[in-house]
């Protein structure tokens, strides 16, 4: 008797209004070419509705939320593969309790996000947007260029809150800049830090010693507003803050005040406390901040890599293996999850 197909759901935001893939570089052919895998798109809804997943074995999740109420009663769902590395939109504890693996795609975003941080650092210290504006304003602006001298990076200190996947890659790609490197991360691997030439410091030191400070940690209860008015006041007035992680890690009101008063030289933000930000937000009117719409790392290569990682995780589960990119490692030891794995058909 032929085993029932392994059914993979994709959240509705993967499909455009015209019915095409939102991101064409997301190669779904390893799923569509497998004989025993069926793929379907969910109807629009946020959070994802449980009734739409009753017959699903796997879910690839883009922008929608997956809450405890999203878990189908059938008990069939085995993996939620998040399209990216952030998983604050997924109730991980509820998934673990229901024997559902939660996976992310660190390999797909490592280099693109690190390059995004480097892009913001170079643009801020080089006064790129200011000089662009001067040039567009004609001779008067062009002749004012001496008033907007950039900042050389050699010998300055690049700091990071976090030395995980992206934080480590940031230091790798910045090696030719001849900066000093420091990081705060209570979970950092000392061998990784040593290999990268990064000095591990306490949280106070990473704020008061960094000339450029990048936020590279996940959003958790402990990191919410980790960057607050007190810590911003500890930073050098010549320093720059870069956040490509999650907006609520930074107290945005406190950051706005620091930028307005000159307590901080500038900031580069790809993420915000509220997304999208209000057009009237005072932060957006400041000329010492560069803002991008939580999409600076979005390139064809980035999305191809993210998609490929998600597909690998889904195929792992279909084949009865512990999936790549697993967030909730405790689920791997649960009898219910292992029973699900043993019941999947394998990849043909």
Active site residues: 246, 275, 294
- Encoding tokens for residue 105? 């795609």
Cα(173)–Cα(198) distance, integer angstroms: 13
From 94, 70, 69, 73, select the one nearest 12 (Cα to Cα).
70
Question: How far does Cα 192 stand from its chain's mean position?
Answer: 21
- CB 167 within 8 Å of CB 160: yes
Partners of 6 in the β-ladder: 37
The 3-state secondary structure of 149-187 reads: CCCCCCCCEEEEECCCHHHHHHHHHCHHHCCEEEEECCC
Tokens 């290999």 found at: 195
Could you give the 3-state DSSP secondary structure of residue 103?
strand
The DSSP output letter for 200 is E
Element (DSSP H or E) covering residue 241 = strand 240-243
Residue 327: HSE in the Cβ half-sphere, 13 Å Cα cutoff = 25
Cα–Cα distance measured from residue 347 to residue 36, given in angstroms and rounded to the nearest whole number: 7
Give residues with Cβ within 8 angstroms of 9, minimum separation 6: 39, 40, 41, 42, 52, 53, 56, 58, 59, 60
């Amino acid at each position: 008797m032929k085993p029932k197909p392994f059914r993979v759901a994709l959240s509705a935001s993967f499909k455009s209004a015209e019915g095409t893939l939102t991101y064409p570089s997301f190669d779904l052919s390893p799923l569509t070419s497998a004989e025993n895998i069926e793929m379907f798109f969910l109807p629009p809804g946020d959070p994802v509705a449980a009734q739409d997943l009753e017959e699903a074995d796997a879910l690839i999740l883009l922008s929608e939320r997956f809450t405890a109420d999203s878990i189908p009663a059938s008990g069939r769902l085995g993996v939620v593969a998040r399209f990216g590395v952030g998983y604050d939109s997924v109730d991980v504890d509820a998934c673990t309790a229901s024997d559902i693996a939660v996976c992310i795609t660190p390999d797909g975003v490592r280099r693109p996000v690190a390059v995004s941080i480097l892009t913001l650092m170079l643009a801020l210290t080089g006064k790129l947007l200011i000089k662009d504006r001067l040039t567009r304003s004609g001779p008067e602006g062009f002749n004012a260029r001496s008033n907007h001298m950039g900042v050389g990076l050699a010998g300055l200190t690049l700091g990071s809150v976090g030395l995980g996947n992206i934080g480590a890659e940031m230091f790798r790609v910045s090696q030719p800049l001849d900066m000093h490197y420091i990081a705060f991360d209570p979970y950092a691997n000392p061998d990784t830090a040593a290999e990268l030439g990064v000095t591990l410091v306490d949280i106070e030191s990473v704020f008061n010693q960094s000339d450029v400070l990048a936020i590279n940690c996940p959003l958790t209860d402990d990191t919410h507003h980790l960057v607050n008015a007190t810590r911003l006041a500890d930073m050098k007035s010549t320093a720059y803050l870069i956040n490509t992680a999650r907006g609520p890690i930074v107290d945005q009101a406190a950051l706005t005040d620091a930028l307005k008063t000159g307590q901080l030289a500038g900031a580069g933000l790809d993420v915000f406390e509220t997304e999208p930000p209000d057009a009237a937000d005072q932060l957006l009117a400041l000329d010492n901040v560069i803002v991008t719409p939580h999409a600076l790392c979005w390139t064809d290569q980035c999305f191809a890599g993210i998609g490929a990682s998600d597909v690998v995780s889904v195929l792992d589960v279909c084949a009865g293996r512990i999936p790549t990119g697993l967030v909730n490692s405790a689920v791997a030891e649960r009898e219910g999850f292992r029973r699900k794995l043993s019941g999947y058909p394998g990849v043909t």
